[in-house]
């Protein structure tokens, strides 16, 4: 299997994209495919550069057995468009922001299209409470699982439960 590089992108890289990165890493590890993927996340803005994910994202991930506490926010870099096979933006605003700075050969897709097949935006939970983070987690888990399968990889353990990765 060819090594596949995936970059998850949201606005500040502290809520949605760190969760997506953590979930996808966890699923890849469960499937025993760590050496087959390069996985990272970034933001279209640099306001939180160097900061850990939002505490609510960390808590939500932890409640599902996923540790994202070691991640640090970063802004998208020009090299990312060359280095990643697939760049998945969490919403249409981020797709547009990426498209305005990306070279034509970059593969930028809406997460809701590429991973969920629904065309939906993954809502930004930043201004809400824990329920919003749980909803985002659930959508990201479903999409990351589908994405892994769509890439031709059958997960080693699939419980069918979309609320947890355990």
Q: Which of 16, 25, 56, 139 is catalytic?
A: 16
**Pairing assessment for the beta strands 108-110 and 4-10 based on DSSP bridges:** unpaired
- Residue partners of 66: CB distance under 8 A and separation at least 6: 22, 23, 25, 26, 165
What are 94's two structure tokens? 């981020």
Strand-pair partners of 7:
40, 87
**74 labelled catalytic:** no
- Edge-to-edge order in the sheet of strand 86-89: 37-43, 4-10, 86-89, 108-110
What are 11's two structure tokens? 């606005």
Q: Which of 15, 80, 124, 139 is catalytic?
A: 124
Beta carbons of 37 and 7 less than 8 angstroms apart: no
Residue 79 has a CB neighbour count (10 Å cut-off) of 8
**10 labelled catalytic:** yes
For the annotated catalytic residues, the residue numbers are 10, 16, 124
């Amino acid at each position: 299997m060819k090594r596949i590089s995936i970059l998850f992108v949201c606005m500040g890289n502290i809520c949605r994209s760190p969760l997506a990165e953590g979930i996808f890493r966890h699923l890849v590890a469960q499937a025993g495919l760590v050496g087959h993927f390069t996985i990272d996340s970034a933001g279209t803005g640099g306001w939180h550069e160097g900061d850990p994910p939002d505490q609510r994202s960390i808590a939500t991930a932890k409640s599902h057995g996923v540790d994202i506490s070691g991640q640090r926010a970063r802004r998208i870099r020009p090299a990312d468009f060359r280095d990643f096979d697939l760049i998945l933006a969490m919403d249409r605003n981020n797709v547009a922001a990426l498209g305005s700075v990306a070279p034509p050969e970059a593969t930028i897709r809406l997460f809701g299209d590429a991973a969920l097949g629904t065309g939906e935006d993954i809502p930004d939970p930043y201004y809400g409470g824990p329920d919003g983070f749980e909803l985002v987690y659930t959508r990201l888990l479903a999409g990351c699982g589908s994405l892994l399968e769509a890439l031709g990889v059958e997960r080693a353990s699939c419980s069918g439960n979309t609320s947890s990765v355990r």
